[in-house]
Structures are given as structure tokens and as C-alpha cells.
Chain A
Amino acid sequence: MNDLNIYLTVGAILFSLGLYGVITRRNGVAVLMGVELILNSANVNFVAFARFGGMNLSGHIFAMFVIILAAAEAAVALAIIINLYNKFGTVNVDDARSLKQ
């Protein structure tokens, strides 16, 4: 199989791992890492397509933006998790369950 598919496979695996992490990790930080994985899997795709698809650079640009936003998102999320830690004394997302039906 050619190079593009290798990259895509890598991206897909990353994506799945990310999903799995987001869904199964209790630790808030770990969950965030799962999200990062998902985003980066997308980045891998973008770059791969841009490179092997023999196309313009917009793929790379997109990846750049995603990285930036991921950083911003992570910053906000971490802040919130810290706040959570102050409130609940833990970073386990599943301890926050005061809001329910």
C-alpha cells in the first residue's frame, strides 16, 4: 500500500485511541489528552492529504490553526479542571455529578 494510506491508518488509530481515552479515562487531564489525540489525528490527515494529494498548502494551514486552537482549548480546560480540583478535591470528572435528572 502506498504512503498516504499508511498516514491515514495512523490517523485513524490515533482517532480511535482518542475516542477510547475520552470515554474511559476518569482523570480529567487524561480525558483532555484523549481530545488532543483526536485533534492531532485530524492534523495527521490534513497534512497527509496536503502532501500526498499533491495539493495546495491549505492542509498545512489548517493543521496550524488546529494546533493553536487546541492549545487555547487545553488552557481553558485545564483551568476548569483546576477549579474542579478546588471544589471537589479531585480531578476525576465522574465525581462531578450534582447536576442530573
Chain B
Amino acid sequence: MFIPELILVGSMLLGIFADLFYDRKHSFRVGHWIIGGLVVAALALYLTPASESITLFMGTIVADPFARMFKYIFLLTTTIVILMSLRTDELKTVRTGEYYLLIAAITLGMFLMASSVDLIMIYLSIEVVSIVSFILAGYLKTQVRSTEASLKYVIYGAFSSGIMLYGFSLLFGLTGTTKLFEIRESLAALDGGTLTLTVATIMIMAGFGYKISAVPFHFWTPDVYEGAPTPITAFLSVGPKAAGFALLIRVFNTLFTGTDALTASVWQSLEGLPWQEVMAALAAITMTLGNVLAIQQSNVKRLLAYSSIAHAGYILMGIPVLSQSGIYAVMFYVVVYLFMQLGAFFVVITIKNKFGTEEIEEYGGIGFKSPYLGVIMAIFLFSLTGLPPTAGFIGKFYLFSAVIDAKMYWLAIVGALNSVIALYYYMRIVKMMYLQGEREDELYMPSKFQSILLAVLAVPTIIFGVYWTPIADWIRNSLVFFLP
């Protein structure tokens, strides 16, 4: 059913209307409206029958447990990001009414990305998300970095979506339809892959690669992440990425696989089109490059940006595995990643607000100045590294197990060694926070609201590292795709 989306749209319109009555100072209140809308949407989503899996709008989008789970993720991400934005000092200078509206718009776009099964709808949803993110990245018009970020983002985005579109057109030409399932039929019918098909595949891969910032389509990431307002950076590094993966899974496992995909527990790639080797290689290169480049970053936001590339690489490992457990691992990691990445970014925001720096070198002794922030940050960083007993470890554990189950040992070892590299640069932050500096006498405790939000993010990071059966089951149940 389409009710949650409708509620989102509704709350957006409501927000626009409400914004008229706020002056510059109070326009952030729109954020509250939107949060309300999100909550209601979540409620509606909860009320829709869990196991339903139907198509809507002439089969252009589906509502199935897979999409449903991702919708929850989007709602959660958006809510947290809005809460962050309400607390960051960066946005104090500008009128933020539209800001929240745009975030809500992105959420809608992501909803569509997660559930669209028609080339048109796919392109549409991607563009919705992209265009709005362009604006948000440049939301701080007065700042050079922000403007530049948005410029690069828009050119890059338009460029790669253009390429993807061209790929779509070729695909359409090959099969004569835009509906994924029909395309799949005719692709299966047409024996072996033709050159055209290969070209189309790669061009589409480029489009998705840009969304999930996989090498070599990742170049925009560091600049945009550094330039954009931090909450937006956090948002972009989680929300659209997750949406991108949802779309990637759906499209690739629908189109470019043998017909048994999405039903069997293990399946084959479309014969004549062995794309999973390429995907695996991409995964390996992506995580390695991301990590290797993160090593020499001096700016925490930029470091997290590169590390998010690395994480995209990890997640990507789960897709070429071509098995239920692979997709399962991807979904699990996305959930875990949400908590730790947003958490890390929120700590960065809080530190920026209080100590006014994003440079690692200036993080010295924060562990003593503010034990709470220090401990929380340490938890997120360990989790991002993938050390037990944190959720990050479990996420990696599932990914590796999927990969090893598929006998791709080399990929597993590459991934494992990568987490050693990751340890090095994440530990640099911990080192600055704790190994530098001395015992302080007056301690900084973030505001109650911030502390609670941090705890809300940190506690699951630990809990899911020790006992994760609930979400494991939840994901297992949502691992159901719509099938015609």
C-alpha cells in the first residue's frame, strides 16, 4: 500500500504551509512537523500487513517485505538526521524551514528507490533523491565549501545518471519493455549476453556505483562530504547509500541472473554475462582504496567520508555472492552501519559545537575533557573497525561468512586485512582522544538531549554486538521479494 508515502507527502505540504507562519528564527520548528510526519508514516508502515507483497501503479512499484524493511531504515535515518540538524550550530545562520522539507522529500525518493521495479520509476526516484541532495549539499549558500560541494555534486550526479540513462535506453532497446520482470523474461529468452547487453549493464552499474560511491564512481564523495553541512554528510553517507544498495540488489538480482534468483538460496548470474567477478573486484578495490586513502586524512569528516567508501566496499562484498545469505548480510550490515556511522557523525557535530574543530590533531585529550563523548566515540569507532563485542563486528562477520560460504576466500582475506588497515586510522582518533592530554578538572557533559540521542545510537551498537537475534530474525523475515 502507498499510505506511508502519502503521509510523507502530506506532512511535507503541511510543513510548507506551516513554514509560512514562522519567522527566520523559528522556522526550524518545521523540523518538528516533519518528525511528526515521519512518526506517523512509520506507524502507518507498521499497520500495513507485514507479509503483503503487491505491485502498485501499473506494476511500476512494489510493496514487499524487502522494501518495507528499507523503509524503516530510511525513516529511522531521517528522524535521527533531523534531530541532529536541530542541534547543530552550522545551520543556526540560515533559515532552515525548507531544509527539513527537502530532507522529507529525499525520504520519499528513497522510499521509491527501495520499491521501484520499472526503469522509469527507478530513474525517477534516483533523480528525486539526487536533485534534492544537490540542493542540500549546497544549502549553506554563504559558504564557499558548501557551494563548491554542491556544484561538483550536481555535475557529477547529472553526468553519471545520464550514463545510466543511456544504459537504460539500450536495455529498453534490447527487450522492448521497462518493467524489470518482463525484461528479465526476455533476457533469459535471448541466449547468452550480447555486446550491447554488456555495455548496458556497465552503464547501469556506473549509475548505481555513483549512488553507493563505489570505486571508480566515488570521486565526488570526499569533496561533497567535506563541503556539505555535517548532518547532510551523515545523511548522504547512510540514507541514499542504503537506498542505492536496495535498488542495486533488486535490479541486478532481477535482471542479470538466472531466473531462479530471489527464490532459490543460491543462484547463478545470467549466462554470458559473468558480472559477479567484476562486482567482487569492485568490492575489493573499493574497500582497499577507501581505507588506504582514509589513512592520511587529517579532517575527521573527510576521514569518515573515505571510510564510508570502504564500508560501501564491504557491503558490496555481499552482492556478487549471489545467495540469500549474501543479501541477508548486506541488509544486516546496512542496519548496523546506520547506527555507528550516524553516531560517529553526531559525535563529530557535538565536538565541533563545543570545541570548534574537525581536525584530528586537535582532538587531543577529548577523552579526558569529556569522558562521555570519548567513550561513545570510542564505541562507534571500534564498531566501525569491526571489533567484538560491537555490532560492527557482527555485520562484518555475516559478510565474511557469506563470502566464505561462496568459497570466495580471496575476497574474505582481502576484507579481513582491510579491517586491519581500518583499525589503524580509526585508532588514530582514539589515540588523540585518550593517549594525548592529561586529566582535566572540569568535565564537559553534552546537553541532556544530545546525550540521550548519543546513547540511543550507542546502546544498539553494543547490544547488537552481543545479542542480535531479534534483528537477525526481522531481517530474515524481510528477505522476501515481490515476484510476479
Contacts and interface: CB of A to CB of B under 8 A. Distances in A.
Given A55-B176, A62-B119, A98-B144, A45 B169 contact: yes
A10 interface: no
Nearest to B172: A49
B176 to A, nearest CB: 4
Contacts of B145: 98-99
Given A55-B177, A58-B177, A69 B169 contact: no
A8 B145 CA distance: 41
Given A22-B159, A42-B168, A84 B131 contact: no
Interface in B121-175: 123-124, 127, 131, 134-135, 138, 141, 144-145, 147-152, 154-155, 158-159, 162-163, 165-166, 168-170, 172-173
B124 A69 contact: yes
B169 A42 contact: yes
A99 B134 CA distance: 16
A100 B176 CA distance: 44
Given A72-B131, A80-B138, A96 B172 contact: no
B98 interface: no
B223 A99 contact: yes
Interface string A43-60: 101101110010110110
A18 B163 CA distance: 10
Contact of B151 (A28, A58, A66): A28
B178 interface: yes
A75 B345 CA distance: 31
Contacts of A96: 147-148, 151-152
Contacts of B465: none
Contacts of A69: 123-124, 127, 131
Main secondary structure of the interface of B (DSSP, over half): helix
A77 interface: yes
B19 interface: no
Nearest to A41: B166
Contact of A35 (B141, B148, B162): B162
Given A65-B124, A80-B138, A35 B177 contact: no
Contact of B226 (A81, A87, A99): A99
B123 A65 contact: yes
Nearest to A97: B148
Contacts of B177: 55-56, 58
A73 B158 contact: yes
B120 interface: yes
A17 to B, nearest CB: 12
A100 to B, nearest CB: 8
Contacts of A15: 166
A76 B162 contact: no
Contact of A76 (B154, B163, B176, B222): B154
B227 interface: yes
Given A73-B127, A93-B155, A42 B162 contact: yes
Given A45-B173, A99-B149, A62 B158 contact: no
Interface string A77-101: 1001101101110000100111110
B148 A53 contact: no
A67 B173 CA distance: 19
Which 5 pairs across A and B sit closest by C-beta, in order of nearness? A38-B162, A45-B169, A49-B173, A96-B148, A99-B223
Interface of A: 8, 11, 15, 18, 22, 28, 31-32, 35, 38-39, 41-43, 45-46, 48-50, 53, 55-56, 58-59, 61-62, 65-66, 69, 72-73, 76-77, 80-81, 83-84, 86-88, 93, 96-100
7 contacts: A8-B173, A45-B173, A46-B169, A62-B168, A69-B124, A97-B148, A99-B223
Given A42-B165, A61-B120, A99-B223, 11 more contacts: A42-B162, A42-B166, A46-B169, A49-B169, A62-B120, A88-B144, A96-B151, A98-B144, A98-B145, A99-B145, A99-B148
